Amino acid sequence: MSDQTLGSLVETAPPKGQNILERISTVLSPHDGPHPLHAPEIDGNAWDYVKDCLDTGWVSSVGKWVDRFEDMITQTTGARHAIATVNGTAALHAALYAAGVRPGDEVLVPSFTFVATANAIHYCGATPHFVECEAQSLGLDPAALDQYLDMTLTCRDGQFVNRHTDAPVRAIVPVHCYGHPVNMELLRGIVARYNLTLIEDAAESLGSFIGDCHTGRFGRAGVLSFNGNKTITTGGGGAIITDDELFARRLRHLTTTARAGDGTELIHDAVGFNYRMPNLNAALGCAQLETLDSKLKSKQILAARYADALEGLEGVSTVTHPKWGRSNYWLNAVLFETQQARNAAFSELNEAGYQCRAVWTPLHHMPMYCDNPRMGLSVTEDLSARGLLLPSGAGLPLSEASSSTDR
């Protein structure tokens, strides 16, 4: 408080950005070179496992590492089945397609997400219908959605349709944004009431739970990503998790070009996709999954250090896990009071070697999605203008803790 009094006496008080820089540099020492937003950490058995693929020649889409990787995913998430894919976008596309999303359908999806979520819907010929998010988790807002659907949908022959477009509203794809779980307990009621197919975009939330339930396990299927910037990586890769055995079998079939028969002849009994993860990538993934717990722990510590360092800093608030779930803290987001303050901090931190990035630009601001159906998105627009992402990789070198909250 005495600092504040002092500050107000000085005519040219330092801008807010300078303050955040000083605070952040108590967490990550500025002398260690630039701090990337989220760099992959290749460690553990990665070299041995990948070398095994190279030595044996099993590098492509069949091999023991794919099976092992899928087993490890089921163990990590608790899901009965996991189907590894070439990337998370392909996993989303396959899951939506296998769940029956077809041309002319609408699919509810937040505007505040990575473009892949909406693209996967578009690949099915369906229309992304954008819904609002809330400030606590940055994820879909079930309360606002409930009100909106009540006004917007009507039931025709057992199928809910958009009363303005007449299109069937088939599915919903919540996104666990930056690892923070969406309020699934509330959302589930809405999903049931409007008979929606629930496919979770859990691309960012490996290791995030609500109670004992891993994100991605609340509906028909969940989708993970192992892109280079995610919590663990396979170079590029994704997975679909589901408890539904028939659905899992259909997905395995669809993602391996719908191959049928006993292998004597090349027979395909549907138009499938070449979406299976190669063995080479799965080998890396197995090594990465072995280190998941330690990576998650490092991320918890980093998030706590950021929250501690930024506490009490005027005009800045940290986004922490929502009260209903546990976050993997994939990326640490902070909110400024204005877009101007956010942009100033962005420049200042980046120049000082802290690689930051603005949070998602709303998808309804992008040219291909600007005319899509949508509800009021004022919270989305506000958060998008004020949010900044801080360096968040598990391997970032923390400075010596000067605070008592460090562990």
User: What type of residue sits at position 367?
Assistant: P
Residue nearest to ligand PLP (CB): 88
Q: What DSSP element (H or E) covers 98?
A: helix 88-98
Give the CA distances from residue 205 to residues 162, 166, 380, in Å, rounded to whole numbers and listed in that order.
30, 34, 20
Least distance to ligand PLP, CB of residue 224, Å:
8
Which residue, 225 or 392, is less far from ligand PLP as judged by CB? Answer: 225
Half-sphere exposure of 178 (CA within 13 A, CB side): 31
Site for ligand PLP in 212-241 (CB under 6 A): 225, 227, 238
How many beta carbons lie within 10 A of that of residue 263, not counting itself?
Answer: 8
Going residue by residue from 155 to 194, which x/- string records binding to ligand PLP, judged by CB under 6 A?
--------------------x-------------------
Which residue, 65 or 330, is less far from ligand PLP as judged by CB? Answer: 330
Contact with ligand PLP (CB under 6 A): which of 19, 26, 76, 113?
113
Least distance to ligand PLP, CB of residue 109, Å:
10
Q: Which stretch binds ligand PLP (CB under 6 A): 109-117, 127-135, 321-329, 367-375?
A: 109-117
Are 304 and 318 a contacting pair, CB within 8 Å?
no
Q: Report how far residue 223's alpha carbon sits from residue 88's, in angstroms, rounded to the nearest whole number.
A: 7
Least distance to ligand PLP, CB of residue 297, Å:
22
Which residue, 82 or 116, is less far from ligand PLP as judged by CB? Answer: 116
Q: Report how far residue 305's alpha carbon sits from residue 401's, in angstroms, rounded to the nearest whole number.
A: 8
Least distance to ligand PLP, CB of residue 23, Å:
27
Beta-bridge partners for 335: 317, 387
Which residue, 227 or 380, is less far from ligand PLP as judged by CB? Answer: 227
Least distance to ligand PLP, CB of residue 132, Å:
17
Least distance to ligand PLP, CB of residue 360, Å:
8
Contact with ligand PLP (CB under 6 A): which of 204, 248, 251, 348?
204
How many beta carbons lie within 10 A of that of residue 74, not counting itself?
Answer: 15
Site for ligand PLP in 70-89 (CB under 6 A): 87-89
Going residue by residue from 117 to 136, which x/- string records binding to ligand PLP, judged by CB under 6 A?
x-------------------
Least distance to ligand PLP, CB of residue 290, Å:
20
- Which conformational region is residue 98 in: left (phi greater than 0), alpha (psi within -120 to 50 degrees), or beta? alpha
Residue 45 CB-density burial (10 A; 0-12 exposed, 13-18 middle, 19+ buried): middle
Number of residues that bind ligand PLP (CB under 6 A): 14
Q: Which stretch binds ligand PLP (CB under 6 A): 196-204, 206-214, 265-273, 376-384?
A: 196-204
Are 133 and 139 a contacting pair, CB within 8 Å?
yes
281 touching ligand PLP, by CB under 6 A: no
Task: Catalog residues that contact ligand PLP under the rule CB under 6 A.
Answer: 87-89, 113-114, 116-117, 175, 201, 203-204, 225, 227, 238
